Amino acid sequence: MGFSFNAKDKTVERAVRRIARERLDASLAHLADATMPRDVLVHELRKNIKKTRALLRLVRPHFKGYDRENAALRDAARLVSDLRDADVLAATFDDVASRIYMPPDALAALRDRIVRPHTKVADAAAHLAAHGEAIATIARRAKNWKVSGAGFDAIEDGLERSWTAARKAMRMTESDPTGEALHLWRKRVKDHWYHARLLARIWPEMMTHHIAAADTLGETLGEARDLAFLIEALKGEVDATDLRTRAEEEETRLLADARTLGSRFFSEKESGLSQRWRGWWDVWRGD
């Protein structure tokens, strides 16, 4: 049925169980597919964890098992996160380096010093197996998850909480534009992006534009975050001035774009957003 609430879902509780199991079962199917390239596999596994955690954040105030299941999903994600981090740093380095000139030997030596070694294949297999075991256990528990509240009441508090967290994270980056601060803002934006996708059917024509704006903001922040981590990795490298300067220029441009979009996107208070969406929900559900 896709990553969204459906009119056929009789309750929010049933929708949460269904969507979570669909995401976790999809990951198990990917793990069983020996033909899937490792980078694609890791991307899909991480994406399904993020979707499931965002789903639980939407009902967090009405889901007593939130702390346990969120921690379990977070731990499962950590098993595969290291398989991606080195790839991202290497890709960002190569992208910026393609737009400056450095002697090839010096560039190669610099790259070797700052890009973390990739996880060994044997370790990767063990991490992927452990990840599969973890999400299979969570999927079994998901059949019995309990979510209190009926209709929009079950998601309103979580929706407002995540919206407020995203606005707060945005303000934090104004005084602390580090990679970690940008990473936090992006995570909170992604939470709301997933929430909007979950609720896309309440008024598709209106939600499509909202979802697209959230996606653009999240991707812009992701690029800025990757550059911030590259800049931090280049600290102390005396022969990396041109590369670091170019990365800083590109990060500054992306941050300006993100702040312009973010200030517009998050201009509304959480109560206004939830009130509008409740009205659309009621019409969609016929409440």
Model confidence pTM above 0.85 = yes
Please give the full DSSP string across 209-248, using - where no structure is assigned. HHHHHHHHHHHHHHHHHHHHHHHHHTTT-TT-HHHHHHHH
Please name the amino acid found at residue 75: D
Angle of helix 153-175 relative to helix 179-198, nearest 10 degrees, comes to 160
Estimate the share of the chain in helix, then strand, then coil, as percent rounded to the nearest 5. Answer: 80, 0, 20
Q: Which residues contact 17 (CB under 8 A, 6 or more apart)?
A: 142, 143, 145
pLDDT value at position 81? 83
pLDDT value at position 287? 65
Q: Which stretch, 26-40, 50-64, 99-113, 116-130, has highest mean pLDDT?
A: 50-64
Please name the amino acid found at residue 219: E
What token pair was written down for 55?
Answer: 């789903």
Residue 151 — left, alpha, or beta (φ > 0 → left; ψ -120 to 50 → alpha)?
left
Q: Which residues contact 11 (CB under 8 A, 6 or more apart)?
A: 147, 150
Radius of gyration of the chain (CA): 21
What residue segments make up the domains of the chain, in order of their start?
Answer: 7-149, 150-287
Q: Which residues contact 1 (CB under 8 A, 6 or more apart)?
A: 8, 18, 19, 22
pLDDT (tens digit, 9 = 90+) per residue, 206-218? Answer: 999 999 999 999 9
pLDDT (tens digit, 9 = 90+) per residue, 4-14? Answer: 999 899 999 99
**In angstroms, rounded to a whole number, what is the distance separating the alpha carbons of residues 210 and 277?**
12
**In angstroms, rounded to a whole number, what is the distance separating the alpha carbons of residues 11 and 15?**
6
